[in-house]
Amino acid sequence: MCTVTWIPDGSGGHFLTSNRDEAPHRAALELTHRLTDQGETLHFPVDSTAGGSWICFSDQGRAICLLNGARRKHQHRPPYRRSRGLIVLDAFDHPDFYAFMEEGSLNGIEPFTMVLADHDGARVLIWNGRKKEIEPILPGSTRIWSSSTLYPYPVRLRRRRLFERFLQAHPQPNIDQILAFHHLETGDGRNDFIMNREDRVRTISVTAAHLSTQNPYWIHKDLLHQQTERRDLFPAP
């Protein structure tokens, strides 16, 4: 939920990868499936506290990934109306993500940054607690996001430069290279991609998806239990 990359695969698809930095007791309960009222099957790891998720994919090619915080670190002021992880699942109840972004009420929800992808493209929804901002992700572009609640701007800037260097070395990276980047360690354990802050907050999982009409799948790496699971994501048309 705290480090996310978006990388084209060179053939019309994309890789969406997320490192989740969280308290260890909030590890995912399980990887699960759920059928929506519209007949869309969702695939997501379940957050053990609120029952929502930070990343979710559907068999119709839609995907959402959530980061805590908007552009700047905010003050945590509970109670909030609804968990951000449940908002991720709520978005799939709308016929399309445009309807969710335009119609969905976020009043009383803690600030977040959300990456939404479907067959119409990808965009970023930023909610700062007062207003929504929607940014398109241009076709063929690469992006990296780091949560503003954990990483101050100088750290986010350093991570962006590491990402740029990675892409210079690997202009068209494959999934193994992307996962290796998401495990990059530079000697700064508090701010590395696999981070650990006295075991109070640490990177507890890495989840990657290949969003494509050809060979779509997702990989979930549980770092606490050293377990990796790979599943087909949705059938190619």
Name the nearest CA neighbour of 146 among 231, 45, 236, 73: 73
Domains of the chain (ranges; CATH) run: 3-232 (3.60.60.10)
pTM score, whole prediction: 0.94
Q: Give me the chain's average pLDDT, please.
A: 92
Residue 29: per-residue pLDDT: 61
Convert the pLDDT of each residue in 39-92 to its tens digit: 899 999 988 777 899 999 998 889 999 999 999 999 988 899 999 999 999 999
Convert the pLDDT of each residue in 207-231 to its tens digit: 999 999 888 999 999 999 899 999 8
Residue 1: per-residue pLDDT: 62
By three-state DSSP, how is residue 231 classified? strand
Convert the pLDDT of each residue in 132-176 to its tens digit: 999 999 999 999 999 999 999 999 999 999 999 999 999 999 999
First to last CA, the chain: 30
Model confidence at 236, pLDDT cuts 50, 70, 90, reads: very low
Q: Which helix (H) or strand (E) holds 180?
A: helix 175-182
Give yes or no for a contact between 14 and 8, defined as CB atoms under 8 angstroms apart: yes
Residue 103: per-residue pLDDT: 87
Please give the DSSP secondary-structure letter assigned to residue 196: E
State the Cα–Cα distance between residues 87 and 199, nearest whole angstrom: 27
The residue with tokens 């709520």 is 90
Residue 233: per-residue pLDDT: 78
Q: What is the dihedral of CA 127, 129, 131, 132, to 10 degrees?
A: 10
Convert the pLDDT of each residue in 91-132 to its tens digit: 999 989 999 998 889 999 999 999 999 888 899 999 999 999
Give yes or no for a contact between 101 and 132, defined as CB atoms under 8 angstroms apart: yes
Residue 215: per-residue pLDDT: 87
116-119, long-range: CB < 8 A, 24+ apart: 116/62, 116/63, 116/64, 116/91, 117/6, 117/14, 117/16, 117/62, 117/63, 117/64, 117/211, 118/60, 118/61, 118/62, 118/63, 119/61
Please give the DSSP secondary-structure letter assigned to residue 40: P
Name the nearest CA neighbour of 230 among 211, 207, 212: 207
